[in-house]
Amino acid sequence: MFEDGDVIIGGLFNLHYMPPVKDQRFTLEPDNKPCTGLQNLPLQYIYAMVFALEEINHSSALLPGVKLGHRIHDSCALPAWEMQAALSLVGGDAPTYVAHFVMLLGERRVPLIIGGSSSITAQILSRFLGPLSVPLVSYTASSPSLSDRRQYPNFFRTMASDIYQARAIAQLAIKYNWTWVGAVVANNEYGLMAVKVFQEEIQGAGVCLSFVETLQRENIVSDASRAALAIQASTAKVILIFTWYTDVMELFLQLEKLNVTDRQFLASEAWSTSTDLRQSAFSRKVARGVLGVAIQSSSLPGFGTFVRNLNPSLRPNDQVLKEFWEKEFGCSPGIGATPSSSSLPPCSGTESLRDVKNLFTDTSQLRVTYNVYLAVYAAAHALHSLLSCPDVSSSPGQNVTCSLHTQIKPMELMEQLSKVNFTTPQGEAFYFQGADVTAKYDLVNWQSSPEGEVNLVLIGRVDSFDLHLNESAIQWSTGSSQVPVSVCSERCPPGTRMASRKGEPICCFDCIPCADGQISNTTGSTQCNHCPSELWSNAERTACIPRQLDFLSFNETLGITLTAVAVSGVTATTAVFVVFLYYRQTPMVRANNSELSFLLLLSLKLCFLCSLVFIGRPSAWSCRFQQAAFGISFVLCVSCLQVKTIVVLAAFRSARPGAEALMRWFGPRQQRGSVCLFTSVQVIICIIWLSLSPPEPRPDLKIPGLQVTLECAMASVVGFSLVLGYIGLLGCTSLLLAFLARKLPDNFNEAKLITFSMLIFCAVWVAFVPAYVSSPGKYAVAVEIFAILASSYGLLFCIFAPKCFIILLRPEKNTKKHLMASLSKNL
């Protein structure tokens, strides 16, 4: 197609898809047969270019006084033909054979070409035209490699790079939490690049690829069968497909054979808008609710009328339109000659495109067509700047024109093209970013109608990196508005955390319950968080709740048992006290130092009673009192035993010749003084300890568990150690003295009984230390109470049980005569 003008714009389109029978891939000879198989959609692209040029020529603001012409070639989808057509365009000095006719195109060279119908063709043409600095503006080439200005400095495009649609699909997967996605891609740069960009975009977002299958067009049946089996075997419910629509058609055919109908497909722009694919019977069954990215659709006011008003009678030199007319209406318009004209009847003249419905006349959603339109306007604005055209708005009413040069240099035009920044007649801002334009896509959805048809519905847009979705308008593969779920592992509920499976992607994991004291209160948590020390996890491990204070109380079984044992001890001690008081004049009581015996019984009663202070909720005063009562009571008890043993030893030592004065140092006053002296030391220790660093009631937060023991925390271990150490010192001294007096007459003193009782006493408290340290919480308190009660019972029964036995059950032995006889015998 040719239209003369002041400046000629070149165009390359794949108008036909069937090359001649003779292989014309690498040679063009004058006797070439034409390509066949006229395509309606590329025909629309051609007339979009013609429409844009006519619109610009009628504009008084853009290129005033300059007429743009065109030279449009059909490349027949063959790169070799497209390259030779480009050579003819930039050469301009030879007749070029276009399709089945020859037209002399003139000698003027084309300064700019709109073409490159595929990324491969665009790469070839850009490298070919690069040394000539002829800019190439593509309307469909989308390979990211074409953005490299070092390799393709003369390349521009009105089609966004494929990187952006891969990113948009990745954002969809992230938005809907599709963490387990399968991928089927073309085994070429288009598909492999898409997978790479998709993986980069989802990295760190918790989305994984279940599998990646590639399709080779030469082996499409076997590859599609293999991919279908992979889709069937995978648990992924969402499948990304990045390939040509003919490959997808074969894949869907294989899926139909396997009866795989429950997958949600994500479509690239290469097949998302394919009418042939949507109208196929198996697609209705297999591909319900497809969600895809499509080239942004736009409207061109007046273009629909322009197309429907086309008529060969109005364009007698337009052989392309005549060929279409013959194909569509089956008649010859009678203008010019084509190979099929002789076999067709003449047209009646009433034929019109107004009632024709096909891809050529359908202007409802212009996608690539609009890219062609933008390419023409970009070229026009670059020429406008290059020709120093005046601003019409600054000179209203004046007839202004551009300063047209005799020859436009492609290098200068390329520089101006990289700087264009204008607003289209539709109000859209347009500019190049290097070779690229701002990425804008439509988000489309395949929706089934009640009539059984599959309609293409616009449900959102992509503007650079922003998704704008009308989610309520989406019809998913489930046939409803329910978003499909595609995960390898269900998201872990609150109270659990994710644990990766060895050798599997991070999207495949197990849900492990949080440990005690840890929680996770969100779904899909990767880790459990520790509760603060004063809080603990609830049973569900979803929240931290205040820890419950626990202590040894009078209401629980252990507290009741210890209380009963302590009260029994007090009762037994009181009973012994009453017996001794009642029989205080008998030789048995009087011979065993009755005053110290009564004081010993009183101290034992205090020991039993002080154990009760350890039971109940600790308070500041109870913590202080219990340790003081414990320490002083036991010191008083052991002091009595020690003085009692000393007195016995002194009494028998004084019976020897020359030792009569010994007892004068251990009379009643000295005995009472010694007990007070030993006890006062413990009192002083307790006063200093409790004044400087007393025990305080404090929860023991170190022990794990919901229940935390409220205990009397020892602020000073030294003070508590001195109290126990002093008791231990007196106990060991008493044990040593009693051991020395063990061979004295049994009926007169209880040295052996004191020895045995002190052994029990020391054994209990030696065992107490490790048991106390290793016992958790309130059980440490119970251990201390047990030690107090055990040692108290040991002293009570070992010392007083034999005496009570004689007093109550063997009264005949409780006489002075019996005691003196026994004494004489032992002496």
pLDDT score for 600: 87
Q: What is the 3-state secondary structure of 176-191?
A: CCCCEEEEEEECCHHH
Q: Does residue 402 surpass a pLDDT of 90?
A: no
- Kindly list the distances between the CA atom of residue 37 and the CA atoms of 77, 526, 626, in Å, as whole numbers in the listed order: 11, 59, 107
Q: Which domains does the chain have, with CATH numbers?
A: 2-159+300-334+353-387+407-425 (3.40.50.2300), 162-298+439-473 (3.40.50.2300), 496-546 (no CATH), 557-824 (1.20.1070.10)
Centre a 10 Å sphere on the Cβ of residue 166 and count the other Cβ atoms it contains.
Answer: 24
Encode 478-502: b = buried (16+ Cβ within 10 Å), e = exposed: eeeeeebbbbbbebbebbbbbeeee
Centre a 10 Å sphere on the Cβ of residue 241 and count the other Cβ atoms it contains.
Answer: 31
Q: From its phi and psi, is residue 566 left (phi > 0), alpha (psi between -120 and 50) or beta?
A: alpha
Q: Does residue 163 surpass a pLDDT of 90?
A: yes
Residue 397: pLDDT band (50, 70, 90) is low
- Kindly list the distances between the CA atom of residue 125 and the CA atoms of 45, 79, 141, 414, in Å, as whole numbers in the listed order: 19, 9, 11, 15
Residue 656: pLDDT band (50, 70, 90) is low
Q: Does residue 168 surpass a pLDDT of 90?
A: yes
Per DSSP bridges, beta strands 101-103 and 96-98 are antiparallel
Q: Does residue 465 surpass a pLDDT of 90?
A: no
Which residue from 820, 644, 660, 647 is spatially nearest to 745, judged by alpha carbons? 820
Q: Does residue 822 surpass a pLDDT of 70?
A: no
Q: Does residue 779 surpass a pLDDT of 90?
A: no
**Separation of alpha carbons 154 and 131, rounded Å:** 9
pLDDT score for 712: 85
Least confident range of 460-474, 526-540, 605-619, 652-666: 652-666
Q: Which of 1-5, 638-642, 737-741, 807-811 has the highest mean pLDDT?
A: 1-5
pLDDT, average across residues 672-681: 87
pLDDT tens digits, residue range 27-58? 444 345 678 889 999 999 999 999 999 999 99
DSSP element (H, E) containing 435: none
Q: Does residue 26 surpass a pLDDT of 50?
A: no
Q: Does residue 143 surpass a pLDDT of 90?
A: yes
- Asked if residue 187 lies in contact with residue 213, where contact means CB atoms within 8 angstroms, the answer is no
pLDDT score for 819: 64
pLDDT mean across residues, the chain: 86
pLDDT tens digits, residue range 482-495? 899 999 998 899 99
Percent of the chain at pLDDT exceeding 90: 45
Q: Does residue 92 surpass a pLDDT of 70?
A: no
pLDDT score for 714: 81
| Segments in 387-423 forming alpha helices (H) | 410-417
pLDDT score for 29: 43
pLDDT, average across residues 216-234: 94
Q: For the chain, what percentages of helix, strand and coil (3-state, to nearest 5) are there? A: 45, 15, 35
- Kindly list the distances between the CA atom of residue 703 and the CA atoms of 282, 295, 502, 779, in Å, as whole numbers in the listed order: 66, 64, 34, 12
- Asked if residue 109 lies in contact with residue 88, where contact means CB atoms within 8 angstroms, the answer is no
Q: Does residue 818 surpass a pLDDT of 70?
A: no
Higher pLDDT, 88 or 814: 88
pLDDT, average across residues 375-396: 84
pLDDT, average across residues 217-233: 95
pLDDT score for 429: 92
Q: Does residue 95 surpass a pLDDT of 50?
A: no
pLDDT score for 661: 53
pLDDT, average across residues 187-216: 93
pLDDT, average across residues 193-212: 93
- Residue 159 three-state SS: coil
pLDDT, average across residues 655-659: 52
Q: Does residue 659 surpass a pLDDT of 50?
A: no
Q: Which of 12-26, 303-317, 747-761 has the highest mean pLDDT?
A: 303-317
pLDDT tens digits, residue range 407-430? 788 999 999 999 999 999 888 899
Least confident range of 147-161, 435-449, 457-471, 589-603: 589-603
Per DSSP bridges, beta strands 101-103 and 113-114 are unpaired
pLDDT score for 204: 85
**Separation of alpha carbons 514 and 530, rounded Å:** 10
Residue 743: pLDDT band (50, 70, 90) is low
Contacts for 390 with CB less than 8 Å, ≥ 6 apart = 64, 400, 402
pLDDT score for 704: 84
pLDDT score for 762: 81
pLDDT score for 321: 92
pLDDT score for 389: 84
Which residue from 353, 314, 322, 364 is spatially nearest to 339, judged by alpha carbons? 322
Residue 368: pLDDT band (50, 70, 90) is very high
